[in-house]
Chains A and B, each alone.
Chain A
């Protein structure tokens, strides 16, 4: 009967129920979108680093992220190759450049020059052409999402990076850039040319280890042999990139702050409606108390009301959030929903509703059953 009473109390006043559900829905959608954007941003920031699938990164001192790093003279590669445990050392160029659209105008892009032979970081998710086409003259690979941004329509279109002609020979799907500057893949040599790098100059050296080699030992050995550069584990470089883009720029704080505000607003709305519902049913709760119900029995009614609100609100909120996420799939800033986030949102909703029930419970705890005789 506790469930029946909670259900009826909740559905008795439809307008209040709608207000409660809108509050929860608004909160869920806001938190889901904010945290989904945060996860999407994280994925974009570390996309290149994760896809390189190497254990160590040799960078110039103070490299902030994949897109923002100084250059190496390239001689480090040969020193690194002589360190025990190192299987390969692969140069990689990454830097902001100006993309000149064929119809005029420019866009900021990030040139990514990879060693296609070694292939630690090749373009992935190819949906047109293939990466071997990069060996062709002027060849570049771009992501389909950014065609409009780059002022082109598809394969075969030509443009310029600085003064160099480039031609799109293949396209990827879903390689997004947090900076909104599209990644433009090309061969290592062409990237060096674009960047005006000479000889073996590069942005990064990607280190793969021999099977069984201890990463930390190799890292220390490399750092000792290369005192003028930084030797970072992939995890350290990931964290540094995330810290730079999410927290140094304030973008992450804004997203997390938005999620926090969403939770707060949802909690306040649910608390307010539960409290007013409890006040409206105060005489009924006093009657229950007079009939001999324990305080716990009444608390269960209120908590079940909160749980029912949470379940319905979560269902509606997630439906809307998933629709928004689906709509954002092909945008420059996709929102991500993971099973972990979905479960986290459910826990958050239940927690939010339980906290909201506290005020109502405190009100009903002070109830005087003698009030049933005062009517």
Chain B
């Protein structure tokens, strides 16, 4: 039985800028994300990774093409409609964590739930559970400034997970972390992707993350140029390459 489709994008084109400065950032991208998979979107700088992530995250609207999340088309949605879609289905993990410095780890996660309309005791319990799930049960009351980079990224992952979105999008989740913390975060994302109700896509150019992926999509110059699925052999090779690069 094939895995449930979480996201489907067809013929995505995105123009950025105006007039003479106009750039075609995406030139007809097709991509499908399935539940239970950790997909890595890899490519050099300027290849269109972040633009595609923004479109898949319903933050940017494509110039042309179609996008649907859990079968819900996103065309013709205004900014509030897109925000509603994000609220219901998508969790984000950012390169710089984007935690609220004035809120504790628990409050940061609760804020994510509050945005999703989950409040009160239910929110407190779910936020705690999300932080326990990422191994931060001992850091609930700590503020971001008192957490390491890896711990901050875990809080961000807990915030993205809380409310059980079907799609988790991560933008360079290991870029600001050292090797150990990067591996831990990717291992966590990989574990989370085992949940058959959720698809995870991480944009990265960090080869150390390869062993954790189920699928790797390569993008260059605004086009998908290749895709590979991980087999145990490939995973082992990727691990070796990652160690060499490290």
Interface residues of A (CB under 8 A from B): 1-2, 4-5, 8-9, 11-12, 283-284, 287-295, 297, 369-370, 372-373, 375
Residue A291 contacts which of B80, B85, B103, B112 (CB distance < 8 angstroms)?
A: B112
Q: Which residues on A sit within 8 Å (CB–CB) of B59?
A: 290, 369-370, 372-373
Q: Which residues on B sit within 8 Å (CB–CB) of A297?
A: 115
Is B102 within 8 A of A8, CB to CB? yes
Measured CB to CB, the nearest residue on chain B to A2 is: B114
Return the 10 tightest CB-CB contacts between A and B, nearest first. Answer: A292-B87, A8-B102, A292-B86, A1-B114, A287-B98, A293-B115, A375-B96, A12-B102, A369-B59, A1-B111
Q: Which residues on B sit within 8 Å (CB–CB) of A4?
A: 103, 107
Q: Which residues on A sit within 8 Å (CB–CB) of B112?
A: 291
Residue B98 contacts which of A1, A12, A283 (CB distance < 8 angstroms)?
A: A283
Whole-angstrom distance from the CB of B167 to the nearest CB of chain A? Answer: 12
**Does B125 sit within 8 A of A, measured CB to CB?**
no
Is A293 within 8 A of B103, CB to CB? no
Q: Which residues on B sit within 8 Å (CB–CB) of A11?
A: 102
Q: Which residues on B sit within 8 Å (CB–CB) of A372?
A: 59, 92, 94, 98
Q: Which residues on A sit within 8 Å (CB–CB) of B50?
A: 373
For the complex, give the distance between the alpha carbons of A292 and B102 in Å.
Answer: 20
**Does B220 sit within 8 A of A, measured CB to CB?**
no
**Does B214 sit within 8 A of A, measured CB to CB?**
no
Residue A292 contacts which of B96, B103, B115, B119 (CB distance < 8 angstroms)?
A: B115
- Per-position 1/0 for B20-42, Cβ under 8 A of A: 00000000000000000000000
Given contact pairs A4-B103, A287-B94, A292-B87, A373 touches B114 in the complex (Cβ within 8 A) = no
For the complex, give the distance between the alpha carbons of A288 and B159 in Å.
Answer: 11
For the complex, give the distance between the alpha carbons of A11 and B103 in Å.
Answer: 12
Whole-angstrom distance from the CB of A10 to the nearest CB of chain B? Answer: 9
Q: List 19 A-B contacts (CB under 8 A).
A: A1-B107, A1-B110, A1-B111, A2-B114, A5-B100, A5-B111, A287-B98, A287-B100, A290-B86, A290-B98, A291-B87, A291-B112, A291-B115, A292-B85, A293-B83, A294-B84, A295-B79, A372-B98, A375-B95
Majority-rule SS of A interface residues: helix
For the complex, give the distance between the alpha carbons of A283 and B50 in Å.
Answer: 17
**Does B88 sit within 8 A of A, measured CB to CB?**
yes
Whole-angstrom distance from the CB of B62 to the nearest CB of chain A? Answer: 13
Q: Which residues on B sit within 8 Å (CB–CB) of A9?
A: 102
Is A292 within 8 A of B111, CB to CB? no
Interface size on B, residues (CB 8 A): 34
Is B100 within 8 A of A291, CB to CB? no
**Does B53 sit within 8 A of A, measured CB to CB?**
yes
Q: Which residues on B sit within 8 Å (CB–CB) of A375?
A: 94-96, 98
Q: Which residues on A sit within 8 Å (CB–CB) of B115?
A: 288, 291-293, 297
B75-133 at interface with A (beta carbon < 8 Å) = 79-80, 83-88, 90, 92, 94-96, 98, 100-103, 107, 110-112, 114-116, 119
Whole-angstrom distance from the CB of B125 to the nearest CB of chain A? Answer: 15
Is A294 within 8 A of B103, CB to CB? no
Given contact pairs A288-B115, A292-B90, A373 touches B110 in the complex (Cβ within 8 A) = no
For the complex, give the distance between the alpha carbons of A370 and B50 in Å.
Answer: 9
Q: Which residues on A sit within 8 Å (CB–CB) of B90?
A: 292
B143-196 at interface with A (beta carbon < 8 Å) = 159, 171
Whole-angstrom distance from the CB of B189 to the nearest CB of chain A? Answer: 18
Q: Which residues on B sit within 8 Å (CB–CB) of A295?
A: 79-80, 83
Is A292 within 8 A of B83, CB to CB? yes
Is A294 within 8 A of B80, CB to CB? yes
For the complex, give the distance between the alpha carbons of A235 and B98 in Å.
Answer: 65
**Does B222 sit within 8 A of A, measured CB to CB?**
no
Given contact pairs A291-B112, A293-B115, A373 touches B171 in the complex (Cβ within 8 A) = yes
For the complex, give the distance between the alpha carbons of A158 and B86 in Å.
Answer: 87
For the complex, give the distance between the alpha carbons of A69 and B80 in Å.
Answer: 69
Residue A290 contacts which of B57, B101, B102, B103 (CB distance < 8 angstroms)?
A: B57
**Does B236 sit within 8 A of A, measured CB to CB?**
no
Residue A8 contacts which of B98, B103, B110 (CB distance < 8 angstroms)?
A: B103
**Does B60 sit within 8 A of A, measured CB to CB?**
yes
Is A292 within 8 A of B54, CB to CB? no
Whole-angstrom distance from the CB of B78 to the nearest CB of chain A? Answer: 11
For the complex, give the distance between the alpha carbons of A201 and B91 in Å.
Answer: 91
Measured CB to CB, the nearest residue on chain B to A4 is: B107
Measured CB to CB, the nearest residue on chain B to A292 is: B87
For the complex, give the distance between the alpha carbons of A283 and B101 in Å.
Answer: 11
For the complex, give the distance between the alpha carbons of A5 and B114 in Å.
Answer: 11
Q: Which residues on A sit within 8 Å (CB–CB) of B86?
A: 290-292
Sample of 8 further A-B pairs with CB below 8 A, known A290-B57, A292-B88 = A5-B100, A287-B100, A290-B98, A293-B83, A293-B115, A295-B83, A373-B94, A373-B95
Residue B92 contacts which of A8, A290, A294 (CB distance < 8 angstroms)?
A: A290
For the complex, give the distance between the alpha carbons of A1 and B102 in Å.
Answer: 12
Given contact pairs A1-B111, A373-B53, A291 touches B92 in the complex (Cβ within 8 A) = yes
For the complex, give the distance between the alpha carbons of A295 and B81 in Å.
Answer: 11
